[in-house]
A and B are shown apart, each in its own frame.
Chain A
Amino acid sequence: MTGPASYYLAIKISNTEFQMKMEDMPLSGPDNTRLEALVHDIYSELVEDACLGLCFEVHRAVKQGYFFLDETDQESMKEFEIVDQPGVDIFGQVYNQWKNKECECPNCKRLIAASRFAPHLEKCLGMGRNSSRIANRRLASNNNMSKSESDQEDNDDLNDNDWSYGAEKKAKKRKSDKNQNSPRRSKSLKHKNGELGSSVSSEPYKFNYNTGISYETLGPDEVRSLLTTQCGVISEHTKKMCTRSQRCPQHTDEQRRAVRVFLLGPSAPALPDADAVVESDSFDIPDGQTLMSRLQWEDSPDISPTDSASSKASTNHSDSRRPKKKKRPSLGLNSGGGGGGGGGSGGLAGGSSSSSSSQSNINLSTKKKRPKLSAPSISSIYDDLN
């Protein structure tokens, strides 16, 4: 027999071979051996199937002409042989080859490590996402620095705070919370206690989050200064003082008064709602009219659109400087307006509170200016004290 029939016969024969073998086994043997034999047979059949499958596949490939397609001339085969050496991948390339190489930057002509090359280019050429952000920040801080320096020669401390605080602030993104956690507030506090500023600014990336201050960590002076600018009402859950303005809607004046009594003793100065406690007029404290002028003056920088919180904050910083100079000549204009603040730090609370009370008389459009104003008034008070 030739041709196709012979194929099938060959296959059939091999199969019957097995069967005959099986039938030769003694039936009287234990079931186990029979079972084992059965298992082996099944296994052999499966392997046979696999082999046959392969044969058919190869045969078809040969007859259809694609069996030897993956082979080329001997030279190319040698060239692209799989490499199996240690330290080298299958193409023969070394893994860490480019790690230690240095590239010359086309811009600045420096030799930069290969892995740092891309980020360096980004900054060097001024393209890419990060570089614009950094540039904006730098501009903001430079503005900050130059403005503050040009304004104040006598406030080295504040300038220092400004600089470091501004650097810190840059890392944060403050949006609508700027009024409540105004940089000036923390800055004036930082003047007294460096940790305080950092504790406030340690809540960096929470937008619209009212950071609180724990009153236990503050000394009496800091408490007083805090209370003159901020609401200060201690939250029940967190035991922290509210850092919003004196007019913050979350707490009533009664609460504020209670807190002041609690923290500063019964002799604590009165709150905005109460009649202004006039302790003495001997200090140069901004009165209602000065405040009004300052308000109007501050109006524009505040409203002016700025794209980054930091630059806005920096203008606020600079704003805090200028009013101080303006204030002095215009003193004594309207002593009856809000009453002068008291002498000493105890009077500060009264002073700012009275000034804020005078602010309450001013039209509502200036509402948001108030918190900022109270800060400059305080810093000016400090100046006078110093």
Chain B
Amino acid sequence: MSKDSQMRAAINQKLIEMGERERLKELLRAKLVECGWKDQLKAHCKDVIREKGLEHVTVEDLVTEVTPKGRALVPDSVKKELLQRIRAFLAQHVTL
């Protein structure tokens, strides 16, 4: 267990140190905007807000409403590409 978590921590650390995590994050954001995911989700947000009332919306509400939908809405191509990049990074920089 701890070995696993240790390994994970190490890998995460490496990701961050090498700047790869930031790069991946930016890449993902750009792709999501490009494919319209952001607009879709925003529209969903609007519905939620209208539902809950403008004054009483909380971050919690938004998170709980939006996140599962967001995860589901990510297009396959984007998902595949990101997975590919992560794998490549791991293969290159992590020895198991």
**Interface residue ranges, A against B (CB under 8 Å):** 6-7, 10-11, 14, 19, 22-23, 25, 27, 31, 34-35, 38-44, 46-56, 58-59, 62, 67-68
Contacts and interface: CB of A to CB of B under 8 A. Distances in A.
Given A40-B83, A48-B67, A50-B32, A58 B62 contact: yes
Contacts of A55: 45, 59, 62-63, 66-67
A46 B96 CA distance: 23
A19 B66 contact: no
Given A22-B4, A47-B28, A54-B70, A62 B86 contact: no
Contacts of A44: 71
Contacts of B60: 6-7, 10
A23 B49 CA distance: 37
7 contacts: A19-B5, A44-B71, A51-B41, A52-B67, A59-B57, A59-B58, A62-B54
A23 B28 contact: no
A7 B25 CA distance: 22
Contacts of A41: 8
A47 to B, nearest CB: 6
A7 B58 contact: yes
Given A22-B4, A23-B5, A58 B28 contact: no
A43 B70 contact: no
Contacts of B45: 54-55, 58
Interface residues of B, number: 40
A46 B70 contact: no
B4 A27 contact: yes
Interface string B20-41: 0100110011001000001001
Which of A6, A56, A67 has most chain B Cβ within 10 Å?
Answer: A67
Contact of B86 (A34, A39, A48): A39
A58 B74 contact: no
A234 to B, nearest CB: 69
A43 B21 CA distance: 10
Contacts of B24: 46
B71 A51 contact: yes
Contacts of B71: 44, 47-48, 51
Contact of B42 (A14, A39, A40, A58): A58
B1 interface: yes
B28 A50 contact: yes
A43 B82 contact: yes
Contact of A38 (B3, B11, B63): B11
Given A27-B3, A47-B71, A59-B62, 12 more contacts: A35-B87, A38-B8, A39-B87, A42-B11, A47-B70, A49-B25, A50-B28, A50-B32, A51-B66, A51-B71, A55-B59, A55-B62
A51 B70 contact: yes
Contacts of A51: 41, 63, 66-67, 70-71
B49 A67 contact: yes
B79 interface: yes
A47 B74 contact: yes
